[in-house]
Amino acid sequence: MDANLGHVLLIANPAAQNGNGAKAIEAVVPLLREALGEQNVVLARTVGPHHATDLAKRAQGADTVIALGGDGVIHEIVNGLMQRDGFERPALGVIPVGSGNDFARSLGISSRPDIACGQILRGCQSAIDMGCANGQWFMETLSFGLDAAIAIDTMERRKKSGKSGAALYMESGFDQLLHHLDSYRYTASFDGGEPVSGESITFAVQNGPYYGGGFKICPEARLDDGVLDLCIAHPPVSVAKAIYLFLRAKGGGHVGFRNIEMLRCTTAHIEFEQQPPAQVDGEKLQGRVFDVRLDPASLRVIAPLGQ
């Protein structure tokens, strides 16, 4: 169907990507208002953590919410939108201004704000699935263990260095692989089946294929296929083998190796013996026991034609 944006609430993080969010706001707002009319585009700048969630939850009168920022602010907005009843839930558009932009990558949205704006204006609406872990909604990724430790470490390095993107993820990844190649014992059941016990270095639960700024951890994952894709890396793995698999995962080339298990499910109950590093859409998540489910076709998004 046509995008038909209607009344738009643009929720923008001016601090995104070391201040590039503010520049993107100045570029995008005139384009949207010229195309849709001054009165049909309301700008709301975020001022701190969780503000975007509150703005999206209270977006009364908005037909479309456009998120301008990184995966973190998109994650917050999604969690606000998913608190709205389905029949009154606005559609979501994304103008990525972040270091990873994995959700935008899955949608086929450009990392250039002006092009992304044009894609939204000319795009079409479609319904995508949403994942939920212990009450936290995720649009792209949930993971435990090594990859989560890398994501968390990447956030700290970004604050200190100002670096971003896959290069920063690689830098953090090599550090974690060399010094923190830990494994975590778990018991899990998938789709209500019999519990299975195992040990994992990486345990990724994906709605879309990407994490870490373009690492294709679950190459076959799709946002609208009605299932979650899982990638579990089992020990033993030497440091050299782990580095090799890490590098291959950039393009999805890790699939098929003996240590890598790929699964699909719609629900999962996962209990770790000790609390692992955990992340959801790049944000830190606490816990040892996780209930995960998929809510199919629950959020309308705007993506380029042909995606």
Rounded to whole angstroms, how far apart are CA atoms 53 and 88? 16
Distance CA 241, CA 260 (A): 12
Query: How sure is the predictor about 167, in pLDDT bands with cuts at 50, 70 and 90?
Result: confident
CA dist., res. 278 & res. 191, Å (int):
21
Is the pTM higher than 0.95? The answer reads no
Q: What is the pLDDT of residues 252-291, one digit of tens each?
A: 999 999 999 999 999 999 999 999 999 999 999 999 999 9
Least confident of 48-57, 168-177, 206-215: 168-177
Helical spans, DSSP H, in the chain:
16-36, 51-57, 71-81, 102-107, 113-122, 146-161, 165-179, 239-249
pLDDT tens digits, 66-115: 999 999 999 999 999 999 998 899 999 999 999 889 999 999 999 999 99
80, 24 contact by CB (below 8 A):
no
- In terms of Cα–Cα distance, which of 275, 197, 269, 262 is closest to 233? 262
For the cut 90, the answer to whether the pLDDT of residue 179 exceeds it is no
Is residue 278 within 8 Å of 148, Cβ to Cβ? yes
User: Side-chain half-sphere of 80: how many Cα atoms within 13 Å?
Assistant: 25
